[in-house]
Chain A
């Protein structure tokens, strides 16, 4: 299953609302996760089952969607949110990831 994220990169300011989309090449129900990765670090799980916030993750992060189209939203961008974000499907093997969306400071 191929996952395509858009955009591949974006520039935004602190306080902005940011939306990242992930499209799957076939129906994956709600078996989608979102990760945040900082340079040189391991990915961090933000959202699982498309819309469930992982424990300890700030509530400004939210996820939505099912089937083939999914969205990650950051309601008010904070300085620590500048990172690369990946979607991942766990509906079937092999598990696959999107190409990533780099969120940069405007």
Chain B
């Protein structure tokens, strides 16, 4: 079964960093790209960036370009999203999603930024 499993919820203080993982199973990981999307409470979905699971090339939204780091571990079929210098506005559910058409999705990881 094709699925993506993300790490559990995180609580961070302003200024800290968070690293969320997304583990793939049921398909050849390196054949695809992985997108990261977040959703703040009551807000629309927001695309953050993309990583090529084969060669590690990335593309980030300009909004996050200086704070967002996308990496991969091919041997573990896992990609990582690190967001630095967290602020309260980064409180959101963070999702990973595979392929060009964003399917499948991970279950989401709630990141709460609070002092």
Contact = CB atoms under 8 A, between A and B. Distances in A.
Given A42-B95, A45-B101, A86 B44 contact: yes
A94 B61 contact: yes
Nearest to B108: A42
A41 B106 CA distance: 9
A94 B103 contact: no
Given A42-B107, A43-B45, A93 B102 contact: no
Contacts of B102: 33, 35, 43, 45, 88, 90
A7 B100 CA distance: 27
B105 interface: yes
A54 interface: yes
A45 B101 CA distance: 8
Nearest to B46: A97
Given A42-B107, A95-B35, A90 B101 contact: yes
7 contacts: A42-B95, A44-B105, A86-B44, A88-B102, A90-B100, A90-B101, A95-B35
B44 A94 contact: no
B103 to A, nearest CB: 4
Contacts of A35: 45, 102
A63 interface: no
A39 to B, nearest CB: 11
Contacts of B1: none
A97 B107 contact: no
